[in-house]
Amino acid sequence: MVLQSNLHRRQPRGFTLLLALGVVAVVTMAVMLSFSVVGREADSQADTRRQKQAFFAAEAGLAEGREAVRIVMGASTKNQIPMTDFGLKVTGVPGLGSATRPWYELLPGSGTDKWNEYKLTSTSLDTSEVGAGVDYPEQKNVRYRVFVRDDDEDNDLLNDTNRQLWVIAVGEVTNANGRPTRSVVQALVRNATSESIFAPGCITKGCGPDMTYDNPTDQDPPSDDVRVIQ
């Protein structure tokens, strides 16, 4: 009997182990990639939410600023209203006016930073608005500031002569882990003798383009009658 030498047999080279390590590496990379995609999507949604919150805060400040301007103008009998009647001049804040084109703080907040907090917490709501055991999502990091500046009708930026001003509102959502998100809105406001009514869209019945009932196409007041359409 002739015995074959073991030298001609194929030696094991660990191919199975290498294949398993490769599969594990591919699966690990896929999991890490999915985590990265989910994280970016969550950050994008959070940034969109903060942008909307900042915009709504700025809109709220703008509506409040309009009414404040109307009250000041309505109470003044001066031909030229000093801009200081609307608030103190803003100084030392980049982007908020300048020495030649000053802005004035229309609605200063109670804090040293002059921000108005736009908080919404469960303790500030009525018990009927929050059900028992409901985890209410509170809003504690939203704030706004409101400014005015002259519309530069006569090159005199320190006095208003035509009872028309720019109102600028800045809404901000603070973020402990990064930069704040801001939104800025502005409107040219002129004097009105009646209370200002502002709302998103023309939701009040019979209102005209200026959000009052002075509507050339419908002079009737709103009706609460309920009509049934057959």
pLDDT tens per residue, range 3-39: 555 555 555 566 677 788 888 888 888 888 877 777 7
Confidence band for 207, pLDDT divided at 50, 70 and 90: low
More confident residue, 196 or 59: 59
Confidence band for 172, pLDDT divided at 50, 70 and 90: very high
The H-or-E segment that residue 142 falls in is: strand 142-150
Which residue bears the tokens 């939203």? 142
The H-or-E segment that residue 46 falls in is: helix 15-75
Would the pLDDT of 213 be above 60?
A: no
Would the pLDDT of 77 be above 70?
A: yes
Domain coordinates in residue numbering, the chain? 26-127+137-190
The rounded mean pLDDT for the chain is 78
CA distance 173 to 16: 55
